[in-house]
């Protein structure tokens, strides 16, 4: 039997290849967040200083909504042809599957962010007053906070009626502290204030919830 | 056990009427706020009761995940339901008091915001219970409850940082309380806890009976299905 990391890698490569060929998730996420950017810029007409104040909130709300699109598709593929049932009866560790899915979603959302951030900068004429490299750290930590819980709750909402609606209902309340930290960190970097406290909070949020997901995922996968 | 229920009911009724009398008549009128301060005797006990019920929900969920006993699941369900009711009372009585005293209905203060987020988390818990397939509900709900409990310190700290960075007039807390007021507050809290226990108890019995009925019906439809040999 391959090692746990081998299983993670195999599942991840399979998901990435499927996405590369179909481009279902990334296309719908891109179009969705593009719509959000356009709608927002019509709703608010900010000057440079106001942009710095509100951009953090706008960016992360757009990414949060777009991420839900990708997260909802995470497990849908595995239901067809009873792939998930096959995985359950196989001796492969459940956490390998979970990590593969979470890393896959992390990559999808990161690609989305890499493509959309230039648009945000253009539309809102952003120029950070603080150290810009910190934005990368915030983006990585924040994206992981969203996708790790999102992947977990997507597996949970798989067992419910109207699962597409269920995911945001579960994910958003739990993500409020992380979202607040991402938005505040981004805004503080853009306006040139310190963001270390928020980054530390995000990091501990990531650590705590990643651990919780890894401990509890097997129970959720095998729930009968 | 059967006799304890009506006794608790009568005790709760007496305590609630006594605490109402204490809160409205006996407790001294607050110097600056006047009579509107008396809502405090309902607001604070409800908050304490709600937090205790949410703690019970968390403990029962952990017990369910370890032991997989149906009783623990029912306790978790009941405490979350009644907890949300008390938390709603807190969120409704708060603004009624805040409007005349602070001049605003709502402020994004640390305590207000964290109570609201807690309320949202437990609403999503109840929604999950309603929407999931019956066999898996207890397990999924217990998992979500643990996530919710893990989230509480983060909610608290994030809003604390948020508010220390943007100072707001925070009123309440600090200062000393008249011992007579404290006395009334504690009596009210006792009455509210008894009331919560009473509701939880009857809701527990109801839920248990409901599950027994469902099981009996499922068993009946299995034995009486036309295809099966009699």
Facing A174 at nearest CB: one of B127, B147, B162: B147
CB A134 within 8 A of CB A182: no
In chain A, positions 137-176, which contact chain B (CB-CB < 8 Å)? 149, 156, 159-162, 166, 169-170, 172-174, 176
Distance from CA of A21 to the nearest CA of B (A): 33
d(CA B42, CA B20): 9
Asked if A150 contacts A105 with a C-beta cutoff of 8 angstroms, the reply is yes
Residue B76 belongs to a domain: yes
Partner residue opposite A177 with nearest CB, options B128, B143, B154: B154
Nearest-CA neighbor of A72 among A173, A163, A179, A169? A163
Q: Is residue B139 in a domain?
A: yes
pLDDT at B51 over 80: yes
* Residue B229 falls inside a structural domain: no
Distance CA A172, CA B147 (A): 12
Note the pLDDT of residue B194: 92
Shortest alpha-carbon distance between residue B162 and chain A (Å): 8
Residue B132 lies in a domain: yes
Would the CB atoms of B148 and A177 count as touching at under 8 Å? no
Residue B63 CB: number of other CB atoms within 10 A? 17
- The pLDDT value recorded for residue A174 is 93
Residue A114 makes CB contacts below 8 A (sequence gap 6+) with none
Based on the structure, what is the number of domains in chain B? 1
- Cβ contacts of A180 on chain B, cutoff 8 Å: 158-159, 162
Question: Which of A188-192, B179-183, B216-220 shows the lowest mean pLDDT across its residues?
Answer: B179-183
Give the tens place of pLDDT for each residue, B129-187. 988 877 788 999 999 999 999 998 888 888 877 765 544 444 444 456 677 888 888 88
What confidence category does residue A113 fall into, taking pLDDT thresholds of 50, 70 and 90? very high
Asked whether residue B214 is assigned to any structural domain, the reply reads no
Closest in B121, B132, B159 to A160, CB measured? B132
pLDDT above 80: residue A223: no
Domain that holds residue B149: 11-27+37-166+177-209
* Whether complex ipTM tops 0.90: no
Contact B140 A173 (CB under 8 A): no
| Least reliable range by pLDDT among A56-60, A184-188, B26-30, B129-133 | B26-30
Is B120 within 8 Å of chain A by CB?
yes
Residues A128-163 have pLDDT tens digits of: 787 888 889 999 999 999 999 999 999 988 888 877
Residue B217 lies in a domain: no
Instruction: Write out chain A in H/E/C secondary structure.
Output: CCCHHHHHHHHHHHHHHHHHHHCHHHHHHHHHHHHHHHHHHHHCCCCHHHHHHHHHHHHHHHHHHHHHHHHHHHCHHHHHHHHHHHHHHCCCCHHHHHHHHHHHHHHHHHHHHHHHHHHHHHHHCCCCCCCCHHHHHHHHHHHHHHHHHHHHHHHHHCCECCHHHHHHHHHHHHHHHHHHHHHHHHHHHHHCCCCHHHHHHHHHHHHHHHHHHHHHHHHHHCCC
CB B126 within 8 A of CB B84: yes
Inform me whether the pLDDT recorded for B97 exceeds 90.
no
Measure B10 CA to nearest chain A CA, in Å. 39
Residues in B closer than 8 angstroms to A184, CB to CB, are 161-162, 165
Residue B223 included in any domain: no
CA–CA dist A147, A155 (Å, integer): 12
Identify whether B156 is part of a domain: yes
Q: Decide which of A212 and B172 is more confident.
A: A212
Which of A180, A216, A219 comes nearest B158 by C-beta? A180
Residue from A56, A57, A150, A170 whose CB has the most chain B CBs within 10 Å, to mutate? A170
pLDDT of A55 above 90: no
Q: Is A194 on the interface with B (CB under 8 A)?
A: no
Strands (E) located in B29-124: none
CB contact under 8 A, A201 and B162: no
| Whole-number Å distance between alpha carbons of A174 and B150 | 9
């Amino acid at each position: 039997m391959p090692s746990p990391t081998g299983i993670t890698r195999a599942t991840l490569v399979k998901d990435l290849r499927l996405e590369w060929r179909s481009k279902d998730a990334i296309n719908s996420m891109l179009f969705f967040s593009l719509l959000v950017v356009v709608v927002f810029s019509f709703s608010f007409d900010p000057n440079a200083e106001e942009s710095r104040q509100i951009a953090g909130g706008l960016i992360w709300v757009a990414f949060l909504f777009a991420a839900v699109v990708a997260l909802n598709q995470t497990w849908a593929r595995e239901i067809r042809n009873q792939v998930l049932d096959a995985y359950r009866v196989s001796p492969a560790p459940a956490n390998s599957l979970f990590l593969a899915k979470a890393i896959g979603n992390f990559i999808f959302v990161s690609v989305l962010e890499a493509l959309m951030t230039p648009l945000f900068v253009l539309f809102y004429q952003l120029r950070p007053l603080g150290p810009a490299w910190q934005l990368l750290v915030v983006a990585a930590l924040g994206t992981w906070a969203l996708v790790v819980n999102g992947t977990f709750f997507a597996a949970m909402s798989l067992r419910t009626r109207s699962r597409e609606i269920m995911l945001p209902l579960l994910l958003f309340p739990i993500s409020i502290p992380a979202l607040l930290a991402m938005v505040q960190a981004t805004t503080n970097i853009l306006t040139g204030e310190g963001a270390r406290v928020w980054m530390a909070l995000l990091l501990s949020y990531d650590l705590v919830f990643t651990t919780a997901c890894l401990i509890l995922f097997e129970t959720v996968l095998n729930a009968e | 056990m059967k006799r304890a229920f009506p006794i608790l009911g009568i005790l709760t009724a007496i305590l609630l009427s006594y605490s109402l009398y204490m809160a409205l008549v006996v407790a001294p009128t607050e110097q600056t706020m006047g009579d509107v301060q008396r809502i405090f005797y309902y607001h604070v006990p409800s908050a304490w009761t709600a937090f205790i019920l949410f703690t019970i929900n968390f403990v029962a969920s952990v017990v369910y995940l370890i032991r997989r006993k149906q009783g623990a699941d029912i306790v978790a369900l009941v405490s979350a339901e009644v907890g949300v009711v008390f938390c709603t009372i807190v969120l409704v009585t708060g603004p009624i008091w805040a409007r005349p005293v602070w001049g605003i209905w709502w402020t994004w203060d640390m305590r207000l915001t964290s109570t609201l987020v807690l309320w949202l988390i437990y609403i999503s818990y109840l929604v999950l219970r309603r929407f999931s397939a019956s066999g898996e509900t207890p397990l999924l709900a217990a998992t979500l409850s643990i996530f919710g409990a893990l989230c509480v310190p983060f909610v608290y700290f994030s809003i604390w940082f948020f508010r220390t960075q943007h100072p707001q007039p925070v009123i309440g807390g600090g200062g000393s309380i008249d011992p007579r007021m404290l006395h009334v507050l504690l009596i009210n809290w006792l009455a509210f806890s008894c009331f919560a226990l009473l509701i939880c108890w009857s809701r527990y019995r109801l839920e248990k009976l409901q599950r027994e009925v469902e099981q009996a019906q499922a068993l009946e439809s299995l034995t009486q299905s036309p295809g099966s040999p009699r």
